[in-house]
A = this chain, B = another copy of it.
């Protein structure tokens, strides 16, 4: 470790220790108080709109001079509407029911011991994100509402904007007597700060959530020495079964691919049962909707506008108006293809055959498995969670959309009357 990296690691460890101390306070805090803090933070965001815009203008000027792409500049850019949206998002999290203290289960043992499992905060969560400054408020709010202290590390492009939003969040904490260390932001743009967080900040960070593109998520997943909630890819499949209703199939497939092509719930591969009666209009609907298709020989025989798929296409998340199409032999073929090429995010079947649908639900090993619905519903808000910190494709702790409950753990409470173990 270089001396600079060591200094940065020391800074992050000190932040971690302050966060642990704040987490101890939060664990004892009435959830009504975190809601009040977030309501106050939202008000502060609104009151600070001008200051946030000034900070954002600084970031934008720097980013423009550095030649950032139009897409990145758009992610970075704030305006009055977006700031109002951020404030409303924080209020929405304040209004979510607290997951803390919820009784998971309870039992009484023959010896009279009463056991309960109750939800408690995880402790300290690290959030590593890129150019969207709104994550400062959004992730900060979700962590606080679930009783956790959070260390935020935003992208260097958005330093000033994120700092301005962070000041508003902290003023919400101060207004309600909560420790300001409950929501901290890493002050240094040094990349070593990310490394120090991924190493666990000297044992203080219990969970890392990356929010950003594939490069960031891959780095986090590769380097982290603490648990990570994330998904690297959303290579989502829609399988149109021979028993699909053609109108439903077309509506779902077009929506799953084209409603928004850049979200992780978008369909990336369309699988069609070889026995499906009328695939041509389905493929035409995608092409007419502006989607380029790449397919296997059987698909190309149906529509010559389909380009040949390379081997890598079946394992690619395009996040674009581009889709791979394969013709498979029934549900067995679909299951085998998904097992070989899926990323464990979201898969859907379109079928009117209940037995086939249930088999797909049972045998597809993804975080989300759908019947007769668009994969674009893969979202915490659409799932009724009120928000989401992200979608996880790992197998432990939480899977699929993760919101407040996924940011908690539990402890066992045991109430006795003097029992000793024989």
Contact = CB atoms under 8 A, between A and B. Distances in A.
Interface of A: 24, 27-28, 107, 109, 113, 115, 120, 122-123, 206-207, 227, 245, 247-248, 251-252, 254-256, 259, 339, 357, 361-363, 365-374, 376-377, 382-384, 394-397, 399-401, 409-421
A123 to B, nearest CB: 6
A257 B236 CA distance: 55
A412 B207 CA distance: 22
Given A368-B412, A370-B414, 5 more contacts: A115-B383, A206-B396, A248-B418, A361-B413, A373-B419
7 contacts: A27-B365, A28-B362, A206-B395, A259-B421, A367-B411, A368-B414, A369-B411
Contacts of A247: 418
B382 A420 contact: no
Given A368-B411, A412-B400, A382 B418 contact: no
A252 B362 CA distance: 48
Given A245-B418, A419-B374, A412 B365 contact: no
Contacts of A382: 109, 113, 421
Contacts of A417: 372
A369 B421 contact: no
A371 B421 contact: no
Contacts of A366: 411
A416 B383 CA distance: 13
Nearest to A422: B259
A377 B421 CA distance: 6
Contacts of A245: 418
A259 B420 contact: yes
Contacts of A409: 395-396, 399
A339 B396 CA distance: 27
A418 B384 contact: no
A361 B118 CA distance: 11
Residue in A24, A374, A383, A396 whose Cβ sees the most chain B Cβ within 10 Å: A396
Contacts of A413: 361, 369-370
